């Protein structure tokens, strides 16, 4: 979502004694008009400063600390114009009569139309690792996207998405995408000039196990558009090597760390890992190891760990579930908060809770399987019942099958969590209930976790997101 991120901003407590007193005959400034609190905010008592409250705008990710009198004045509409202006700018106050629900609907449409064309291309289902929880299961094997399918994709993109000036961002995915590095060179070599000649920008990212991503390769691919690589390490060496050995059985940890070290000055590295209930407490040792190797916070675009569970192993793509998590299972909330704290404490950047939505909702987002089948969510790859078309016949109407607009109902539009939820994750709903027949409501999870996330950000965050 294209919203201004001001979550580091704190407002000094506003004084109740500074309330606006209009003089007789004086023209009324904008902020005199009656304002009320936005419906898209959360208010928490601030334990560290009794009598104070933390306000969090889910729409703008902004935070303000107000004393009790000021909060009351904000609720009653008796703040001074200057204070109203500040709280309005931060997304806490809105003019009386302003239709926030309608604004939310319009904002989503604007965000959808302003985005680049984004496609995840599954280049193969092959891998040089033999991960114990690999989602591909029975699908894994010697299956590669052919050059003919890649040509079909380029034609499809050109015909349907490359309007004047439209930028293109591809994510090359597998299996292991670098086993298809020639196809990456080919697709990028053809698409880059097509996009740039129309005034857009062409970039691509890799979702890779990191074992083949050498410094030499990164330097070769960067001019073709390579921006970022999402690399996975599943904990300290003995844990990672047990989960993610090479097909030969040898550990892959050293090779990945060596490569991350070699490429992190060339491209952005999103450093991810998958933990279990049994091992998440060991992950801080991985952070200390990479720091000792000289992979410092300034060298990584982001660090984030995600859980692997039994059901996800059957279906999901842990690497793709950044921002897609919503679970109220207590151990998962505990693990997520613990690991976030350890990441922030060491100065690494990790994503904030911020406005985001399921990729399915965005019209210019597609996932293309190695055989040219098109999906809307990476977690549905290989599940024909969730295919929405193919490169030959195009995309069919998926409004019903994917329950589009499921958040456009009174309960969600009135919910303070809407900007960071938008109806949750269709994939998790499917895992939990066997069907996408409604929202994946995140209320319980956000009630349990959001305040702690905000406090962690206020106290520990020292690194800004890299562009
Ligand atoms: S269904 Fe879930 S995993 Fe798939 S894009 Fe939407 S939020 Fe992400
Ligand atoms: S799904 Fe639940 S948490 Fe999300 S916006 Fe709707 S009511 Fe709120």
Most informative mutation of 312, 327, 377 for ligand 1 (most atoms within 8 A of CB): 377
| More confident call, 293 vs 250 | 293
CB count in 10 Å sphere of residue 261? 16
Mean pLDDT of 410-415: 96
Do 172 and 190 lie in a common domain?
yes
Dist. CA 191–CA 196, nearest whole Å: 9
Task: Locate the ligand 1 atom nearest the alpha carbon of residue 357 and give its number.
Answer: 7
* Strands (E) located in 352-452: 365-368, 373-375, 389-390, 394-395
Most informative mutation of 309, 358, 398 for ligand 1 (most atoms within 8 A of CB): 358
Most informative mutation of 105, 421, 429 for ligand 2 (most atoms within 8 A of CB): 421
Three-class SS of residue 2?
Answer: coil
pLDDT tens-digit map of 102-135: 988 887 777 777 789 999 999 999 988 877 766 5
Give every CB contact of residue 236 below 8 A, 6+ residues apart in sequence.
Answer: 282, 283, 285, 286, 289
With pLDDT > 90 as the criterion, what percentage of the chain qualifies?
Answer: 63
Do 140 and 264 lie in a common domain?
yes
Please say which residue of 77, 98, 119 terminates a domain: 98
Residue 2 lies in a domain: no
pLDDT tens-digit map of 301-312: 999 999 875 544
| Pocket flag, ligand 1, residue 427 (CB < 6 Å) | yes
Do 379 and 453 lie in a common domain?
yes
Is residue 466 within 8 Å of 268, Cβ to Cβ?
Answer: yes
pLDDT tens-digit map of 423-462: 998 988 888 888 999 999 999 999 999 999 999 999 998 8
With pLDDT > 70 as the criterion, what percentage of the chain qualifies?
Answer: 87
> In total, how many domains does the chain have?
2
Name every protein residue with a CB atom under 6 angstroms from any ligand 2 atom. 407, 411-412, 415, 417-418, 421, 423-424, 439, 441-443
Please say which residue of 54, 72, 98 terminates a domain: 98
Instruction: Using the mean position of ligand 1's atoms as its centre, give its distance from the Cα of residue 324 in Å.
Output: 6
Do 38 and 137 lie in a common domain?
no
pLDDT tens-digit map of 319-341: 444 444 545 578 889 999 999 99
Scored b (16 or more CB within 10 A) or e, 74-113 reads beebbbbbebbbbbbebbbbbeeeeebbeebeebbeebbe
pLDDT, residue 25, reads 56
Task: Locate the ligand 1 atom nearest the alpha carbon of residue 376 and give its number.
Answer: 5
Residue 34 lies in a domain: yes
| Pocket flag, ligand 1, residue 324 (CB < 6 Å) | yes
| More confident call, 58 vs 25 | 58
CATH of the domain at 324: 3.20.20.70
Instruction: Using the mean position of ligand 1's atoms as its centre, give its distance from the Cα of residue 34 in Å.
Output: 40
Task: Locate the ligand 2 atom nearest the alpha carbon of residue 418 and give its number.
Answer: 5
| More confident call, 247 vs 25 | 247
| Pocket flag, ligand 1, residue 358 (CB < 6 Å) | yes
Do 76 and 124 lie in a common domain?
no
Predicted confidence (pLDDT) at residue 383 exceeds the cutoff of 70: yes
Please say which residue of 98, 122, 149 terminates a domain: 98
Residue 187 lies in a domain: yes
Residue 11 lies in a domain: no
Task: Print the domain residue range for 120.
Answer: 99-467
CB count in 10 Å sphere of residue 16? 17
Mean pLDDT of 246-253: 88
Mean pLDDT of 175-188: 97
Count CA within 13 A, CB hemisphere, residue 286.
Answer: 31
pLDDT tens-digit map of 188-218: 999 999 999 999 999 999 999 999 999 999 9
Mean pLDDT, the chain, integer: 87
Dist. CA 277–CA 309, nearest whole Å: 9
Q: What is the DSSP letter of 467?
A: -
Dist. CA 37–CA 87, nearest whole Å: 9
Mean pLDDT of 38-55: 95
């Amino acid at each position: 979502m294209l919203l201004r991120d001001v979550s580091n901003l704190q407002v000094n407590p506003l004084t109740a004694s500074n309330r606006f007193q209009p003089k007789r005959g004086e023209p009324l400034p904008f902020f005199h008009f009656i304002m009320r609190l936005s419906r898209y905010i959360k208010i928490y008592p601030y334990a560290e400063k009794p009598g104070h409250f933390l306000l969090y705008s889910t729409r703008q990710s902004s935070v303000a600390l107000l004393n009790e009198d000021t909060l009351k004045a904000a609720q009653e509409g008796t703040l001074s114009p200057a204070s109203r202006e500040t709280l309005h700018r931060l997304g806490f106050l809105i003019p009386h009569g302003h239709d926030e629900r309608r604004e939310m609907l319009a904002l989503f449409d604007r965000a959808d139309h302003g985005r680049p064309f984004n496609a995840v291309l599954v280049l193969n289902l092959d891998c040089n690792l033999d991960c114990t929880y690999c989602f591909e299961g029975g699908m894994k094997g010697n299956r590669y996207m052919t050059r003919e399918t890649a040509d079909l994709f380029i034609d499809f993109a050109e015909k349907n998405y490359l309007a004047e000036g439209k930028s293109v961002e591809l994510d090359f995915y597998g299996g292991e995408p670098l086993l298809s590095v020639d196809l990456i060179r080919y697709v990028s070599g053809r698409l880059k000039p097509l996009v740039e000649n129309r005034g857009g920008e062409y970039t691509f990212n890799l979702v890779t196990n990191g074992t083949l991503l050498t410094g030499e390769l990164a330097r070769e691919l960067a001019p073709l558009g390579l921006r970022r690589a999402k690399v996975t390490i599943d904990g300290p060496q003995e844990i990672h090597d047990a989960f993610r050995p090479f097909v030969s059985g040898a550990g892959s940890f050293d090779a990945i760390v060596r490569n991350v070290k070699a490429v992190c000055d060339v491209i952005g590295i999103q450093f991810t890992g998958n933990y279990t209930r049994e091992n998440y407490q060991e992950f801080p040792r991985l952070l200390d190891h990479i720091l000792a190797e000289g992979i410092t916070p300034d060298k990584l675009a982001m660090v984030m760990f995600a859980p692997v569970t039994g059901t996800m192993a059957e279906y999901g793509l842990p690497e793709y579930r950044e921002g897609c998590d919503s679970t109220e299972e207590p151990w998962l909330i505990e693990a997520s908060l613990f690991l976030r704290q350890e990441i922030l404490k060491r100065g690494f950047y990790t994503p904030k809770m911020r406005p985001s939505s399921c990729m399915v909702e965005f019209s210019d987002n597609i996932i293309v399987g190695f055989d040219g089948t098109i999906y809307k969510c990476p977690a549905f790859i290989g599940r024909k019942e969730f295919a929405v078309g193919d490169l030959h016949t195009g995309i069919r109407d998926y409004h019903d099958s994917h329950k589009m607009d499921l958040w456009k109902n009174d309960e969600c539009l009135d919910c303070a969590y809407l900007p960071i939820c938008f109806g949750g994750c269709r994939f998790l709903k499917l895992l939990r209930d066997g069907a996408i027949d409604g929202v994946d409501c995140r209320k319980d999870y956000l009630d349990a976790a959001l305040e702690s996330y905000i406090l962690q950000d206020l106290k520990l965050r020292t690194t800004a997101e890299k562009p």
